[in-house]
Amino acid sequence: MKIAFFDAKPYDIPGFDSYSAGTDIEIKYFETKLNEDTVSLASGFDGVCVFVNDTVNEAVVNQLYEMGVKVIALRCAGFNNVDTRACFGKIHVFRVPAYSPYAVAEHAMALLLTVNRKTHKAYSRTREFNFSLSGLSGFDLHGKTVGVVGTGKIGRIFADICRGFGMKILAYDKFPNPNAGLDYVELSELFAKSDIISMHCPLTDETHHIIDDAAIEAMKPGVVLLNTSRGALVDTEALIQGIKSGKIRAACLDVYEEEGDLFYEDYSGDVVQDDKLVRLISMPNVIVTSHQAFLTEEALNNIAETTMDNLVKFFEGVPNPDREVCYHCSRKNDCQKERHKKCF
């Protein structure tokens, strides 16, 4: 079986080479992302392996299907970039539901500590023997209230980490987990009472721009916003206005709604044309990382192992309902996956 692996990066290849060795699966790595312009590269392959910024819209799905591609293996948890409705009945889609929720939750805390205690600025200063402390003061996290939006695997670990810092946790989830030991409140109360808000829900039609002008208006003045989930949870223009007005004290973004053409690539020699991103990066109280929250050795290893397992099971016809995705997944609690324990 032949797999076309799109958006391949040097750190992906060793793990996938290792876990594909000894299987009947042959991988060809393409540096380019999958989209309407590049989909023809998948001709002659049985499956494609894609990541967060590959575009798997209806047109791409239909072309893949016409070329005989039978499976899309996402090497990530989120699947908002795949038109699962278009895939239904044509191409099976699998994902890696969890590879290291710790990696993402720990990165969110790293960003919060950095933006608060300004260690990134201190590091640059001391490297130039500038030992001034002016402008470096932060605040104690202990005793502050953190609002966690989305209390799945990552959100709950982030809440645990915050608890370790002596913070009070408020939680919001569309499907609250009664066993999570969390204090669930309405989103409006979370906005009104949180000193820090961290986004850990998936991107869906419902959560698109869940952080907009009205949400920011409802937040506590001086709030710190963390987004390590998906860029389009946040209306970037509203965020910029919120920071400019001082309502938002600081923002940490591992994801950005227009990241697709920029993140993971080196544009240090170019004039970046995305004015909103450039504005954000120019702000002293904003930290942007390039969708790297997942990037730990453990996560990369788990991603390769689970993705290869998904492909092997698919080609062997072994049901794998927990990792198969279909458009019913947005209905979460209703989906029975009753047809041969598969989505279709």
76 vs 82, 129, 142, 295, 306, CA distance in Å?
A: 12, 42, 33, 11, 10
Q: Is 198 in the site for ligand NAI (CB under 6 A)?
A: no
120 vs 125, 127, 286, 287, CA distance in Å?
A: 9, 11, 11, 9
Query: Which residue is closest to ligand NAI by CB?
Result: 152
- Stretch of 126-134, 203-211, 303-311, 318-326 lying at the interface with ligand NAI (CB under 6 A): 203-211
Distance CA 274, CA 261 (A): 10
- Stretch of 135-143, 172-180, 276-284, 314-322 lying at the interface with ligand NAI (CB under 6 A): 172-180
Q: In the set 34, 291, 307, 327, which binds ligand NAI (CB under 6 A)?
A: 291
Distance CA 284, CA 208 (A): 26
Cβ proximity to ligand NAI, 131 vs 175, nearer residue: 175
Cβ proximity to ligand NAI, 47 vs 101, nearer residue: 101
- Stretch of 24-32, 153-161, 280-288, 314-322 lying at the interface with ligand NAI (CB under 6 A): 153-161
Q: For residue 257, what is the DSSP state?
A: T
Distance CA 45, CA 2 (A): 5
Looking at this protein, which amino acid is placed at residue 252? C
Site for ligand NAI, residues 100 to 139, rule: CB under 6 A: 101, 104
Q: Is 154 in the site for ligand NAI (CB under 6 A)?
A: yes
How many chain residues are in contact with ligand NAI, going by CB under 6 A?
A: 31
Tokens, residue 314 = 């698919």
Cβ proximity to ligand NAI, 1 vs 180, nearer residue: 180
- Each residue 72-91 as x (binds ligand NAI by CB under 6 A) or -, in order, gives -----xx-------------
Facing residues of 107 across strands?
none
Distance CA 255, CA 227 (A): 7
Q: Rounded to the nearest 5°, which phi and psi values hold at 226?
A: -115, 130
Q: Are 172 and 186 in contact (CB under 8 A)?
A: yes
In the complex, what is the shortest distance from the CB of residue 101 to ligand NAI, in angstroms, rounded to a whole number?
5
Q: In the set 75, 92, 230, 323, which binds ligand NAI (CB under 6 A)?
A: 230
Kindly list the residues in this chain that would bind ligand NAI in the complex (CB under 6 A). 77-78, 98, 101, 104, 149-155, 172-175, 200-204, 206-207, 228-230, 254-255, 291, 293-294
